[in-house]
Amino acid sequence: MTPWISVATYNERENIEALLAEIHKHLPEGHVIVVDDNSPDGTGELLDALSQRDPWIHVLHRTGKLGYASAHRAGMKQAMEHGADVVLTMDADFSHNPAVLPALVQCINEGADLAIGSRYVPGGGTRNWPWHRQVLSRGSNAMARLLLGLRVHDCTGGFRAYRTSLLQRIRLDQFESDGYSFLEESLLLCALAGARIAETPIVFEERRAGKSKISRKVILEAIVLLFQLAWRRLFCRKALVDKYLITAPLPDQGGAPV
């Protein structure tokens, strides 16, 4: 199984080199595709030098800050074009511990179509997170579970592994999210596609260096999209499935129906 890891970067020069080394230490067979949005701090230039040195590092440069969601969609597409069997997504700031990568791949090896690094299962949690971030995270999770009918404990975490055969059935180019609502949008679509979803515990840590990119605009977008998806799931489900999925849900997969 060839894992590819999609990492989105915007101003992560202080983190990216050490992160890549840690990824390679824990998943030496993996390839990494870093999608950089012309970071003003020179992350892209550093990545060019690193990719010259190491053939498992790949860089996708985009012209400007186009958002977290489209960065991972682009990373996923490139990974699939390169023949990845499993595509993982993670942040560049060490909030997602690279030591967990093998456990996520293991979940896929054991039959899951989507494996989620979860803060909200036994053994998982958050470290050094201010109370307002915890409230935001818990609140958005509860809303996603309730409004989208998801049975996953951590609907808003971005440390995940997707089986390629699952991604191939989802029209990534139809996605509407720009920011972190990508996580709920993709999770709903995976569930509608009948994916077997597993969760493995993670301890999410405050970023090691650099600044957060979360803005009010991104939070508002997530709330609006959540309500739109909930409405469509309840009242326009066929249109939702036709828009996003390439075939009907697989009946034999036993995934949690929504």
Ligand X SMILES: Nc1nc2c(ncn2[C@@H]2O[C@H](COP(=O)(O)OP(=O)(O)OP(=O)(O)O)[C@@H](O)[C@H]2O)c(=O)[nH]1
Quick one: 71 exposed, middle or buried, by C-beta within 10 A (0-12, 13-18, 19+)?
A: buried
Q: How far is the CB of 22 from ligand X (least distance, A)?
A: 14
Q: What angle do CA 23, 52, 32 make, to 5 degrees?
A: 30
- Closer to Mg ion by Cβ: residue 93 or 113: 93
Q: Which residue has the tokens 């067979």?
A: 29
Q: Judged by CB under 6 A, which stretch of 29-37, 188-196, 229-237, 247-255 contacts ligand X?
A: 29-37
The C-alpha atoms of residue 199 and residue 233 are separated, in whole angstroms, by: 23
Between CA 190 and CA 132 the distance in angstroms is 29
> Least Å distance between CB 188 and ligand X?
19
Q: Which residue of the chain is nearest ligand X when measured via CB? A: 212
Q: Assess 182 for contact with ligand X (CB under 6 A).
A: no
At its nearest, how many Å lie between ligand X and the CB of residue 173?
Answer: 17
Q: Of these partners, ligand X, Mg ion, none, which one is at the site of residue 113 (CB under 5 to 8 Å by kind)? A: none
How many CA within 13 A on the CB side of residue 131?
0
Task: Let me know the angle formed at the C-alpha of 8 by 6 and 11, rounded to the nearest 5 degrees.
Answer: 150
Looking at the Cβ atoms of 168 and 215, the one nearer to ligand X is: 215
- The residue with tokens 């050490």 is 18
> Max alpha carbon distance in the chain (Å)?
52
Interface map 199-238 toward ligand X (x if CB under 6 A): --------x----xxx------------------------
Q: Which stretch binds ligand X (CB under 6 A): 64-72, 102-110, 120-128, 234-242?
A: 64-72
Q: Tell whether residue 8 is a contact of ligand X (CB under 6 A).
A: yes
**From 47-55, 90-98, 106-114, 230-238, span contacting ligand X (CB under 6 A):** 90-98
Q: How many helices (H) and strands (E) does the chain have?
A: 9, 9
Which residues here bind ligand X, judged by CB under 6 A?
8-10, 12, 35-37, 65-68, 71, 91-93, 95, 207, 212-214
